Amino acid sequence: MVTRLSVNINKIALIRNSRKGNYPDLIKLAQDCERFGADGITVHPRPDQRHIRFSDIPALKQVIKTEFNIEGYPSKHFIDLVCTNKPDQVTLVPDAPNVLTSDQGWDVKNNKSLLEESIAEFKKRGIRVSLFLDPDTEMVELTRDVGADRIELYTGPYSWNYAADRNSQIKLHIDAATKCIELGLGINAGHDLNLQNLGFYKVQLPRLDEVSIGHALITDAIYFGLENAILMYKKCLK
């Protein structure tokens, strides 16, 4: 099956925000990513707006023609932002407001009410919901129970241990993906995936619907150019 590549453009917004003005132009870059072959655009607006700004969301919604995915913690402000702009997918992450980047999956059991209520709001508006999870089959089962459509497997530990211990790491992801298929859930993945570890990950999983990649892809674009980088990542997914 074809695995879709969603490009996370947070790092581009971070560069833009380091100077006054609108350079690089985030909206144009999102359109260029699509033109170069990206299957979707991902953004993760955080409360301090250190990269994606809240005002970027409606502007992106107007121009994105592929899949628009908004990540974030389901605070009231985030829920209102998503429901107003109606992306194709919302990915819920358990980030505290001050974290640098997402570093763990949901404890679905202890956040059941929060997740059920948030997911219900999104589903009312026809927005697909994905939960950011560690590769844990128990959490996968609970994800179905709270009403999510997909999970996004947190691939940080897999990526960091790829050279030394990829086989034991990938087994956890295979087990979680197999459970998703059994329960009828879609399977996304993301965090520190790169040109070295993405191909193996794709081949090993029984199904992989979508990956969201930002930091590594934008870094590679510095060396290879944005269009080349997107094509290189898509090649890993074939």
Q: Could you read off the pLDDT of 167-216 as tens digits, one per residue?
A: 999 999 999 999 999 999 999 999 999 999 999 999 999 999 999 999 99
- Per-residue confidence (pLDDT) for residue 183, from 0 to 100: 98
Confidence (pLDDT) at 32: 98
Residue 44 designated active-site? yes
Length of the chain measured in residues? 238
- The pLDDT assigned to 102 comes to 60
Residue 99, pLDDT score: 61
Number of domains the chain contains: 1
Active site residue 152: no
Any residues with CB less than 8 A from the CB of 62 and at least 6 apart, and which?
A: none
Q: Which among 34, 51, 152, 191 is annotated as catalytic?
A: 191
Q: Which residue among 34, 67, 71, 210 is the active-site one? A: 71
Q: Is 215 noted as a catalytic residue in this protein?
A: no
pTM across the whole model: 0.96
Cα 158 to Cα 154: distance, rounded to the nearest angstrom: 8
Q: CATH code at 52?
A: 3.20.20.70
CB-count burial class (<10 Å; 0-12, 13-18, 19+) for 1: exposed
Asked, for residue 170, whether it belongs to a domain, the answer is no
Q: CA torsion angle for 161, 162, 166, 171 (degrees, to 10)?
A: 80
Catalytic: which of 44, 51, 152, 173?
Answer: 44
Q: Block means of pLDDT (10 residues each) for the chain, length 238 residues?
A: 96 96 97 98 95 97 98 96 98 78 85 97 98 97 96 97 95 98 98 98 98 98 98 97
Domain that holds residue 217: 4-127+191-236
